[in-house]
Amino acid sequence: MQLDDESLTQDGLAAETTRGKVLLLACGALAHEIVALIKANGWQHMTLACLPAILHNHPERIAPAVEQAIAKHRAQFDDIFVVYADCGTGGQLQAVCDRLGVSMIEGPHCYSFFEGNNAFADRAEHEFTAFYLTDFLVRQFDAFVWKPLGLDRHPELRDTYFGHYETLVYQAQTDDPALTQKAQDCAARLGLAFERRFTGYGDLETALAAKS
């Protein structure tokens, strides 16, 4: 089941009641992946509520938004699991979750938990010139990268923003040739070398399975 916090309804996930269930309070950028995992694993006890993905452009707003959503939904559920990593909040989101007695997925950001936090940490020392895209960010490249940086109006700023990067790493959650081609196009637009790395759902699947 998916609550309509961001008008992201999905067919086939309705349940008779939400009482006694687990609420997955997630970033909207993860909605597609979480719905796919719920369906694939038959986790009928899980309900998904998403906050707007665009909050990542203002990470200082994530912790207050999550706290408000927990207060809104808490009485309906036995457990709430926050499907955000730190996501640039500087520990503020973890502090909110600790104070409210709510657990959250581990990791600094979704790039890390998609790859696997341990594997991502192992690569960090020699991959600091990589710019990462997930399936969601490939689909939404213009809305979440190109336009917010003003590159649609001032393409000459590209090297100012991306001159210190060398490679665009596409962390693929699915095998989709069309998305791979689009990711290659994104790399070309940014003037970066391209690498596709199939991660699947990584630690996201492991963390949700622990709630099953």
Phi/psi at 146 (5° precision): -60, -55
CA 15, 54, 29, 207 torsion-angle sign: negative
Q: Phi-psi category of 40—alpha, beta or left, where left has phi over 0 and alpha has psi -120 to 50? A: alpha
Instruction: List the chain pLDDT tens, one digit each, 212 residues.
Output: 555 444 333 333 333 344 459 999 999 999 999 999 999 999 999 999 999 999 999 999 999 999 999 999 999 999 999 999 999 999 999 999 999 999 999 999 999 999 999 999 999 888 999 999 999 999 999 999 999 999 999 999 999 999 999 999 999 999 999 999 999 999 999 999 999 999 999 999 999 999 98
pTM higher than the cut 0.85: yes
Structure tokens at 169: 């790493």
pLDDT of residue 206: 97
Residue spans of the domains in the chain: they are 21-105, 116-198
Q: What's the CATH architecture for 21-105?
A: 3-Layer(aba) Sandwich (3.40)
Distance CA 51, CA 31 (A): 10
pLDDT of residue 15: 38
**Rounded alpha-carbon distances, angstroms, from residue 52 to 6, 7, 56, 57, 187:** 6, 10, 9, 10, 26
